[in-house]
Amino acid sequence: MNQPLDSLIDSLAPTLICRRCPAMNTRRDVNLPGKRAMVAVLKEFLSILFPGCLTYEPVDHEDLEDLKLRLKGIAAALTDQITRIEGYRVLERTRPEDFDCAAQAERVVAELLSQLPTIRTLLQADILAAYEGDPAAHSNMEIVMSYPGLLAIATHRVANVLYRQDVHLLPRVMSEYAHSRTGIDIHPGATIGKGFFIDHGTGVVIGETCVIGSNVRIYQGVTLGALSFRKDAEGHLVKGIKRHPNVEDDVIIYANATILGGDTVIGKGSIIGGNVWLTHSVPPGSRIFYEEK
């Protein structure tokens, strides 16, 4: 048995190593960071946003030196990862050959770190929205430690800063990690205001070009998606256009509602009932409790 198996492996191995294979990350001119490494940096970042909540033990309230060291470690890891990701884009010809990958990485990381206070403020509003919006919530700490919606939105708030700076792979890996953990699929390109609460969460989908205002609450199974995918004259999908709806401030969208289309706007203060299917705008203060035919 060993000899036929060895022969099969000898013949198979060369077919699995191909320089231009799109699904292979090997050490060559440029190699990407691994997915687990990218997720590890995200976890470290989240542990900074919620000190002592997501790790094994509480942190020393006065230990600023440890915090500084951890931030420096996160910054170094992110800079390395983004430099390599940008180098891969040069290799794949989606960046010019003379693109300064290291300088881009340093700018992106500096911007992310500068946004930390803003992210913290947004997350405080998200926690309060969850506490005030869910009668089953007994404390803010319960929300931080156990609510899937907060994990999804915290991850998004980090990933979105990266995505807005034209870094794509790293925030997508971050968002898909949160998706796998929570069942909530938020594209890192979506714009989401403060006080955002996803209750239960499983099956929620929020598309790349969604714009969601402040104090919005949505429930499980809600889809904010695209109505159709435009193609060019050669049949290729047209990218970079508005495809997903806008949801204005103070809107509530109940379970399994589907709202589609880049021109669709859900007006301020509206309530969209469960299982509703909408492909057109509704004015502020609307109450929609039917399935569109």
Mean pLDDT, residues 76-83: 97
Q: What is the pTM of this model?
A: 0.89
Mean pLDDT, residues 225-245: 83
pLDDT at 50 exceeding the cut of 80: yes
Q: For residue 92, what are the CA distances in angstroms to 16, 33, 34, 97, 158?
A: 20, 16, 18, 10, 26
pLDDT per position as a tens digit, 115-134: 999 999 999 999 999 999 99
pLDDT at 13 exceeding the cut of 90: no
pLDDT at 52 exceeding the cut of 80: yes
Q: Which percentage of the chain shows pLDDT scores above 70?
A: 93
What is the three-state SS of the chain?
A: CHHHHHHHHHHHHHHHCCCCCCCCCCCCCCCCCCHHHHHHHHHHHHHHHCCCCCCCCCCCCCCHHHHHHHHHHHHHHHHHHHHHHHHHHHHCCCCCCCCCHHHHHHHHHHHHHHCHHHHHHHHHHHHHHHHHHCCCCCCHHHHHHHCHHHHHHHHHHHHHHHHCCCCCHHHHHHHHHHHHHHCCEECCCCEECCCCEEECCCCCEECCCCEECCCCEEECCCEEECCCCCECCCCCECCCCCCCCEECCCCEECCCCEEECCCCEECCCCEECCCCEECCCECCCCEECCCCC
- Tell which wins on pLDDT, 231 or 152: 152
| End-to-end CA gap in the chain | 63
- Tell which wins on pLDDT, 2 or 8: 8
Mean pLDDT, residues 167-172: 96
Out of 185-199, 220-234, 246-260, pick the least confident: 220-234
Domains and CATH numbers, the chain: 27-183 (1.10.3130.10), 190-293 (2.160.10.10)
Round the average pLDDT of the chain to a whole number and report it.
Answer: 91
User: CA gyration radius for the chain?
Assistant: 22
Out of 221-225, 235-239, 275-279, pick the least confident: 235-239
Contact 158, 132 (CB under 8 A): no
pLDDT at 291 exceeding the cut of 90: no
pLDDT of residue 192: 98
Give the pLDDT band (50/70/90) at residue 261.
Answer: very high
pLDDT of residue 177: 98
Contact 154, 85 (CB under 8 A): no
pLDDT at 14 exceeding the cut of 80: no
